[in-house]
Amino acid sequence: MVKVYHDKDIDDKVLKGKTVAVIGYGSQGRAQALNMKDSGVNVVVGLRPGGKSWKQAEADGVKVTTVLEAAQQGDIVLMLVPDMAQPTVWKEEVALAMRKGKTLQFAHGFNILYGAITPPKDVDVIMVAPKSPGAELRRQYEAGFGVPALVSVHQDASGKALQTALALAKALGSGKAGVLETSFKDETEEDLFGEQAVLCGGADQLIRRGFKVLVEAGYPPELAYFEVCNELKLIVDLIYKAGIGGMYRAVSDTAKWGGLTVGPVIVDDRVEENMRKVLKDVQSGKFARDWMAEYRDGSKHFKALMDEVDALEIERVGRQIRKMSGLEK
């Protein structure tokens, strides 16, 4: 069983008098900086001068300076620029400011696990990974709650690394929902597998192919969009709140019978075999090496795949329907 901590188990005195430098102000950077600030932590945000995040951070009332200066001011330096940009930001700026006794913090273990960043031995290296996008992290905090988070220690130079990670998770609001202790390896490999096989990749392909089959068979695309995409949210909400059984109990008996008997015909043993291969590539580091090489080469294939998405018929139809129903402007 993993160890789970809540607010009452966490002593946040370790953060007294400390400054947290948040590097980057995107999805996680903004939410984490604001949650910590509202929890009484001294926060400074480090950004590229002239970037559009700078104005946003100022408008939000947080202290902003350059990446190097923020990293110099921070006792804890939190890396929240995109994973692929982190090695350069680390090498050119953050590393220059890492002194003995400081803490380097991540929200995902990728660059440590795959060796793209190697911090000096005399700093603590920790991870606090909220299990939600930034907007939800902020929304839950503002509602007086929090999203669950994973914490992990890669390097414990001070002997207090876990305490620091837990206190930071508490400042994000995650101590209200539960903070789970894990390793950099487990967090990274599970996260990559999840987003590839089930969440982003798996769900995308299920929707795309369901839409394609219906439209090719001559059904109206608008109806197909409702069936295989729009309604997926309602089903996932049911699973989120009450589990798979709870979802089945909330739909008709015909939907139960159809889902239970036809589901395994669609996602069959071959799909499970594919999932095992995908997990192996994550564990061996092949996925990480390929993605880092793609990024270094200018992300041409990556951009082409995104253009392909934008050109899909389901995207055109979906936009119309979301506009019609007021979901999108």
Which residue ranges make up the site for Mg ion (CB under 5 A)?
191, 195
- Provide the CB-side half-sphere exposure for 48 (13 A, CA): 10
Q: Chain-centre distance of CA 209, in angstroms? A: 26
140 binds ligand NAD (CB under 6 A): no
How many CB atoms within 10 Å of residue 311? 9
CB of residue 80 vs Mg ion: minimum separation in angstroms?
13
Picked from Mg ion, ligand NAD, none, the partner binding residue 89 (CB below 5 to 8 A depending on kind) is ligand NAD
Q: According to the binding rule CB under 6 A, does residue 83 interact with ligand NAD? A: yes
User: Sign of dihedral through CA atoms 28, 33, 34, 35?
Assistant: positive
d(C-alpha 219, C-alpha 242), whole Å: 32
Examine residue 28 and tell whether it contacts ligand NAD (CB under 6 A). yes
Q: Considering the complex, what minimum distance in angstroms separates the CB of residue 322 from ligand NAD?
A: 21
SS3 per-residue string spanning 5-40: ECHHHCCHHHHCCCEEEEECCCHHHHHHHHHHHHCC
Instruction: Give whichever of 51 and 201 is closer to ligand NAD, judged by the CB atom.
Output: 51
- When asked if residue 119 is in the footprint of ligand NAD (CB under 6 A), the reply is no
Q: Which does 287 bind (CB under 5 to 8 A by kind): Mg ion, ligand NAD, none?
A: none
Rule CB under 6 A: is residue 93 a binding residue for ligand NAD?
no
53 binds, among ligand NAD, Mg ion, none (CB under 5 to 8 A by kind): ligand NAD
Q: Is 47 in the site for ligand NAD (CB under 6 A)?
A: yes
Q: What is the dihedral of CA 194, 141, 110, 46, to 10 degrees?
A: 150
Q: How far apart are CA 32 and CA 27, in angstroms?
A: 9
* Residue 266 binding target from Mg ion, ligand NAD, none, CB below 5 to 8 Å by type: none
And the tokens for 247?
A: 């979802």
Q: Can 154 be counted among the known catalytic residues?
A: no
Q: Does 24 bind ligand NAD (CB under 6 A)?
A: yes
How crowded is residue 255: how many other Cβ atoms within 10 Å of its Cβ?
A: 13
Comparing CB distances to Mg ion, the nearer of 41 and 112 is 112
Which residues would be at the binding site for ligand NAD (CB under 6 A)?
Answer: 24-29, 47-48, 51, 53, 80-83, 85, 89, 107-108, 129-130, 133-134
Catalytic residues: 108
